[in-house]
Amino acid sequence: MIRTFGQHILRKTRTLDGLWDFVTDPSNLGTTEEWYKKFPSDSRKLVVPSCWNNELGLFEYIGVAWYRTYFDTTQDSNIRLIFEGILHHADIYVDGQHLGYHFGGYTQFSTLLPHLAQGQHELIIRVDSTLDWQTLPTDVADWYSYGGIIRSVELQELPDVYIDTMKIDYHLTGDQADISLQVQVNSLSDTDSEVEVNASTNGLVFPAVTVQLLAGQSTQLTLRGTLANIRRWDVGRPELYTFTVQAGEDDLIDRTGFRTVAVDNGQILLNGNKLYLQGVNRHEEHPEWGFAFPPKLMLKDLAILQDLGCNIVRGSHYPQSQFWMDLLDEHGMLLWSEIPMWGCFMSTDTLASPLFAERGVKMLDEMITRDYHHPSIIFWGAHNEIDTRTTEALELTKKFVGKIRSMDESRLVTYATMHPVEDIVLSYFDVIGINKYYGWYEGNVSGFRDMLQNYYRNAEAQGAGDKPLIMSEFGAAGIFGDAGWEPRLFSEDYQADVVQQALHIFREDPRIVGTLIWHFADIRVDVRSDRPYFRDRARSFNNKGLLNEYRKPKLAYRIVKDIYRSKR
């Protein structure tokens, strides 16, 4: 996997990234003609990871495609294949056998192949990028849903007894951390075994535990220890602790940072101190790479965020790559992480669909499991702009928020509402995000003032008057390079004006604790001639970026930088 640090010293891992065989299957013949047994000979090559919609002839291709690569095993070995991200439906075949199906492009999944014979093995993946009314996202969302294997594929060789997971929890009292490490150890052996489990972190060795494992079974154990004089992770102070667990011949390394997050009397507290959040929404997308965003550019995006004066970024609108979160951890930048639930045009049928809810809950599960240790993540986002005036939204909110809280009590739960004045789900969340576009979709920028007063009334009525409020989206489109003498719609000047006025209104309002501008950089949008959506998206881009898609700053960038860097 692409991380900024190694996760194993003992366990053998290798990447399967590189050139794979690739063929599109617009008529969906591949399953009936068993392409997973006899791959078509007229396939072409494609780099993994990448998005096929960045290749010639496939710019607008939505549908099925097949990928093939090979890997060698030198001896009878246990192989785990980890797929970091495949958009959106993936069927995995090894040596002609169907091993599993996964839906959801932004979270990782894996396949286990115990006791694989020595030799060369064929890995084939059927990828289907088709979305519909019951998928997350649905087939209507304001970004381009590229298809492909968008993140790395890794092969791991597991010993017969291996560490499946490690979960780090802690309780802080002053500068002391009481830590518990939950470790799951699995056996693939056909005989019973005994294994010693050791763990350590900076300055602390946990007392070793010996576990007895029955053949083919798994066991969970908890190691506890106390660390004194800890240095807390904070904004701009990225103190990180690396944890290493070893069980017999296997190991697993992960990292976290110690900090507390809470809300109190309308404020968000990090390590007990009030936070004022300044940030942007960011899609992990680039016109040349789509969602297969290269590490080098992530580092540059982060440098730009820092230059802008941000202390938070919203991972709109899906779980972002782990490399990005590692960087945020390492630079003391906060993150709002969410699942791809984009509801602006979503029907109540979708909100009420059991399949949709099941998929959402699974995505939340995969996101939180994968990203639990990142200290940068302050919020889990449950949904964006669904119709929160309806009972369907209310029921779904209960499910999603319940799921999040059952997995993680150490972070705040939030969402973005586009119906702040009539919203009926406010009380379920710790922090409220409002998305509103005065100066763009609705009236003048001054409209924010009335909207906010009406929102406060609604919040009081819902018993949510003391919840911290973030302006989670606002902005206007500005086409890069389009400047004039007057601030005309779509010009850089107009966009800069809207954002500047809005920020002044928000910064004067003591009940608002943060602003997230829509958005960091322009993104490609799914504009089709036969559909009514997003027809105002010039160039087929959402042009509300402070930067254009190649990360060139617009006027609004410089204005925001001045504001974000000035005292409120």
Q: Which residues bind ligand ADA (CB under 6 A)?
A: 142, 317, 344, 384-385, 435, 473, 518, 542, 544
Nearer to ligand ADA, 318 or 324 (CB): 318
Smallest gap from residue 292 Cβ to ligand ADA (A): 20
Smallest gap from residue 518 Cβ to ligand ADA (A): 5
DSSP-derived secondary structure letter, 231:
P
Sequence-distant (≥ 6) Cβ neighbours of residue 510 within 8 angstroms: none
Smallest gap from residue 437 Cβ to ligand ADA (A): 6
Sequence-distant (≥ 6) Cβ neighbours of residue 527 within 8 angstroms: 533, 534, 535, 537, 540
Separation of CA 521 from chain center: 17
Quote the CA–CA distance of 184 and 297 in Å, as a whole number: 35
Quote the CA–CA distance of 553 and 496 in Å, as a whole number: 11
Nearer to ligand ADA, 301 or 326 (CB): 301
Nearer to ligand ADA, 129 or 281 (CB): 281
Smallest gap from residue 282 Cβ to ligand ADA (A): 11
Nearer to ligand ADA, 317 or 359 (CB): 317
Nearer to ligand ADA, 156 or 435 (CB): 435
Specify the 3-state DSSP secondary structure of 90.
strand
Smallest gap from residue 44 Cβ to ligand ADA (A): 33
Smallest gap from residue 470 Cβ to ligand ADA (A): 13
Smallest gap from residue 473 Cβ to ligand ADA (A): 4
Q: C-alpha distances in angstroms, 517 versus 312, 367, 419?
A: 11, 24, 18
Nearer to ligand ADA, 84 or 549 (CB): 549
Nearer to ligand ADA, 256 or 542 (CB): 542
What residues form DSSP beta bridges with 170? Answer: 179
Quote the CA–CA distance of 436 and 512 in Å, as a whole number: 14
Q: Which amino acid is at 350?
A: T
Residue tagged 């993936």 (tokens): 90
Angle at CA 563, nearest 5°, toward 557 and 564?
85
Count CB neighbours of 431 within 10 A.
23
The residue with its CB nearest to ligand ADA is 142
